[in-house]
Structure formats: C-alpha cells, structure tokens
C-alpha cells in the first residue's frame, strides 16, 4: 500500500519549485490535495505543475472535491443541488488534467435525521450525471463515509448507493475518523470492504472529527489492520 500525504491546508501545487524538494526530503511519493488549485489556475499551469510533480516521482493520487451545504450533491433545494452538480463536473474536468486517479466526494452536508431519507434519491440523481463524465475522464469517484447527521454516515446506506449505481468508476473513500465517531471502524470496513478504493487515515477520541495522526486517538488500529490484511486492496 502506498500512503499519500494530505495537503489540503498546504498549497503545494502552485509552487512546485519550492514544495517538491520539501516533499522529497520527507520521502513523500503521493499526495491528496484540495480542488482549489485546479479551478483557480489556468489549464496550462495545472498541466505543467502536475507534470513537474510526476517527474519528481510524486503522484497526485487523489483530489478532494468541494464540500459543505453549498456544494451538496443531495441538497433538498433543487437549484442548489443543480449548481453543486455542475461545479463537480467542472472540478472533474480540471483535475483530470493532472492525471488524478480518484476524486473524493461527499454524499451531502449536515442534515436533520428526518431529511436524510429524502436526500439519498437526490444523491443518486447527482451520481447519475457525474459518473459518465468520470468514466470519460477515467477518474474514479470515492464516495466518503460521513459523520453522524450526514447522508452516508450509515455504512449499509452508503453500500446500497454504490451498489445501486453499479459502476466501476464509483467506490468508497473510507474515512477512519468519520467511522470511529459513527458506528465504528471495524463495523464499517466489514460492510464496505470490497467497495473501498481509497482511505482517509485519521484518528480521534470517538466524539468528533479531530484529524489526529494515527495512533494518537482511540481507534483500535489492530482491528483495522486485521481486516485490511484480508482485503485485495490495490
């Protein structure tokens, strides 16, 4: 397994001449980054900087798409959802310029429990539009398991969404921190195991998303590894 460093808070792509040597000095061979660089800079700059990273042996493995209420793919307001879908399409087109393997997407934003059953069909509608673009660009979508009070926090519900779409271009981004606050890492991996295409490895104390480096929270990493070792994870 290759471990990528998450660089959301550190804009490494706009300044490759400065950041590539820093990453190389730390032995970094892959990164996940945010979407902002790809939609802010002109296409030639995106392509040039991405090529510099690849030449340096640093893979841009995954990009995290925008998230939050304004970008919710399951927003109950149709106009807001439509804008979110169109923006995700744009993000996919731009990140594909860098040869990204996976774009991580959220099923939706924080919601009341009674709203979530109404949001899932809207998420399916959004994925119906996004997946043909992902297939054309050869970029997989990693649908992230979420914290409680979000669509996608229920592992079985998330599994049903992925299975209903039935596309090899859609899988699960398994976030250990989110799972630990929800029903548990072991429980989530057992349900989602063969659907997982990428991970977010973070720790916390089980009460909230803290983004601690493993093993500085309370996740039982021995349970994680016991399941991971049985996976055919490529």
pLDDT in tens, 57-82: 999 999 999 999 999 999 999 999 99
Q: What percent of the chain has pLDDT over 70?
A: 100
Task: Look at residues 197, 216, 215, 217 and name the one whose alpha carbon lies nearest to residue 207.
Answer: 217
**What pLDDT score does 67 carry?**
96
- With cut-offs at 50, 70 and 90, classify the pLDDT of residue 1: confident
- pLDDT surpassing 90 at residue 41: yes
- Strand, helix or coil at 183? coil
Tens of pLDDT, residues 93-119: 999 999 999 999 999 999 999 999 999
Backbone φ, ψ for residue 27 (5° rounding):
80, 20
CA dist 195 → 18, 22, 69, 155, 227 (Å): 37, 34, 26, 11, 13
């Amino acid at each position: 397994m290759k471990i990528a460093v998450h660089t959301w808070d550190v804009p490494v792509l706009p300044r490759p001449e400065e950041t590539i040597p820093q990453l190389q000095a730390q032995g970094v061979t892959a990164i996940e980054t945010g979407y902002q660089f790809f939609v802010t800079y002109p296409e030639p700059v995106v392509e040039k900087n991405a090529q510099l990273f690849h030449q340096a042996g640093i893979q841009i493995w995954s990009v995290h798409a925008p998230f939050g209420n304004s970008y919710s793919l399951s927003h109950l307001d149709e106009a807001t959802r439509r804008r979110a879908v169109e923006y995700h399409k744009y993000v996919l087109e731009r990140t594909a310029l860098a040869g990204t393997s996976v774009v991580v997407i959220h099923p939706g934003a924080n919601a009341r429990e009674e709203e979530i059953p109404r949001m899932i069909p809207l998420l399916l509608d959004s994925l119906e539009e996004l997946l043909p673009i992902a297939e054309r660009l050869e970029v997989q979508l990693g649908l992230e398991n979420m914290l409680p009070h979000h669509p996608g926090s229920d592992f079985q519900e998330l599994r049903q969404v992925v299975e209903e779409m039935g596309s090899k271009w859609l899988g699960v981004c398994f976030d250990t921190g989110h799972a630990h606050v929800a029903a548990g890492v072991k429980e989530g991996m057992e349900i989602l195991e063969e659907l997982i295409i990428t991970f977010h490895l973070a720790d916390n104390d089980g009460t909230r998303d803290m983004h601690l480096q493993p093993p500085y929270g309370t996740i039982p990493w021995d349970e994680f590894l016991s399941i991971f070792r049985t996976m055919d994870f490529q």
